[in-house]
């Protein structure tokens, strides 16, 4: 009897250890087993909504890295870039990345790649992040081959749900990069477009833009028009109108979101004049 009791206790203890890890997150496929343990808020019971909340509750002290967040129903892990108030990274690409961005609708929906490197967080999660009560903005960071960094912001950003084919809705642009998503200068307008992947054609071209190849590499999923004035998911050429293209090569790109701070933006306006653009 005693022995059986001990066994039950042992089993209970074991269950506790097992339930403490791995963390309950929907996108663990985007982390290596070592990275499961490296999640910076592992064990936190009530999860922050996004990386901005992590930053805020740490008094601005939280470090960059992978955190568990819960934008809506889904508990996910995401890479947080903590400078400038805590951005939730939704895309990162390095030119000629070994991560293939030529993926299916389902893969773009749930995310792929490695959170600590090149990845797409997932349209479903970008939808959850941007469609709640909090208004979000989209940040785009581009680094060219000479390490010159350009930045752009769209405020607000909303990604509609899967029933609307993850249509992209963008507000006003500001930044040092060109506006390649809402400006219609080359007849390619990405704002208000639905998402297209190699297996789901929602674009305005007679063929599927995601399947069109440049030097043997397909475009990957994107909010294509017919087809693109910008596309950050073509592995061999990061494309952002005049800032990044096949003549002016860029090495890295990031897309990220955080709550917009309209009141602070008005306050900061005076300081903007000091910026050397």
Instruction: Give Cβ neighbours of residue 200 (< 8 Å, ≥ 6 apart).
Output: 105, 165
201 belongs to the binding site for Ca ion (CB under 5 A)? yes
For Ca ion, give the closer residue by CB, 226 or 249: 226
Site string for Ca ion, 205-224 (x = CB under 5 A): x-------------------
Per CB under 5 A, the segment of 16-24, 62-70, 199-207, 259-267 that binds Ca ion is 199-207
Query: Contact with Ca ion (CB under 5 A): which of 203, 231, 243, 244?
Result: 203
Shortest separation between residue 173's beta carbon and Ca ion, angstroms:
26
Segment 31 to 60, residues that bind Ca ion, using CB under 5 A? none
Tokens of 66: 């992978």
Q: Which stretch binds Ca ion (CB under 5 A): 21-29, 149-157, 193-201, 249-257?
A: 193-201
Q: Which stretch binds Ca ion (CB under 5 A): 60-68, 72-80, 91-99, 197-205?
A: 197-205
Nearer to Ca ion, 102 or 203 (CB): 203
178 and 241 Cβ atoms separated by less than 8 Å? yes
Binding-site size for Ca ion (CB under 5 A) equals 3
Could you tell me the smallest distance in angstroms from the CB atom of residue 203 to Ca ion? 4
Residue at token pair 């999860």: 47
Report the residue number, 160 or 203, with the smaller CB distance to Ca ion. Answer: 203
Q: Is 225 in the site for Ca ion (CB under 5 A)?
A: no
The minimum distance between CB 227 and Ca ion, in angstroms, equals 9
Closest CB 193 distance from Ca ion, rounded Å:
11
> Regarding beta strands 213-214 and 136-144, do their DSSP bridges make them parallel or antiparallel, or are they unpaired?
unpaired
Distance of CA 206 to the CA centre of its chain: 29
Q: What is the DSSP string of 203-219?
A: SSSSS-GGG-EETTEE-
Apex 35 CA angle, 33 and 36, nearest 5? 65
- Nearest approach in angstroms of CB 228 to Ca ion is 12
Piece in contact with Ca ion (CB under 5 A), picked from 35-43, 154-162, 198-206, 236-244? 198-206
Which of 226, 265 has the CB closer to Ca ion?
A: 226
Contacting range for Ca ion; rule: CB under 5 A; set: 143-151, 154-162, 196-204, 239-247: 196-204
> By the criterion CB under 5 A, which residues form the site for Ca ion?
201, 203, 205
């Amino acid at each position: 009897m005693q022995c059986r009791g001990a066994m039950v206790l042992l089993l209970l203890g074991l269950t506790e250890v097992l339930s403490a890890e791995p963390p309950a997150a929907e996108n663990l496929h985007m982390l290596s087993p070592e990275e499961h343990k490296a999640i910076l808020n592992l064990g936190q019971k009530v999860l922050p909504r996004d990386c901005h909340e992590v930053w805020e509750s740490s008094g601005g002290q939280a470090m960059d890295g992978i955190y568990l967040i819960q934008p809506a129903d889904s508990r996910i892990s995401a890479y947080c870039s903590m400078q400038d108030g805590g951005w939730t990274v939704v895309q990162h690409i390095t030119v000629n990345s070994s991560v293939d961005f030529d993926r299916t609708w389902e893969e773009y929906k749930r995310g792929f790649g490695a959170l600590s490197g090149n990845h797409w967080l997932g349209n479903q999660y970008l939808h959850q992040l941007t469609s709640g009560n909090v208004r979000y903005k989209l940040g785009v960071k581009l680094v060219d081959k000479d390490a010159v960094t350009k930045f752009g912001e769209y405020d607000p950003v909303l990604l509609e749900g899967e029933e609307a084919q993850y249509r992209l809705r963008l507000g006003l642009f500001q930044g040092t990069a060109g506006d390649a998503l809402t400006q219609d200068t080359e007849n390619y307008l990405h704002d208000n477009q639905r998402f297209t992947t190699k297996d789901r054609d929602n674009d305005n071209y007679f063929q599927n833009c995601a399947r069109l190849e440049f030097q043997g590499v397909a475009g990957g999923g994107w909010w294509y028009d017919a087809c693109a004035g910008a596309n950050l998911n073509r592995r061999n050429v990061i494309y952002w109108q005049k800032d990044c293209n096949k003549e002016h090569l860029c090495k890295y790109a990031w897309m990220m979101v955080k709550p917009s701070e309209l009141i602070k933006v008005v306050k900061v306006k005076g300081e903007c004049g000091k910026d050397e653009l």
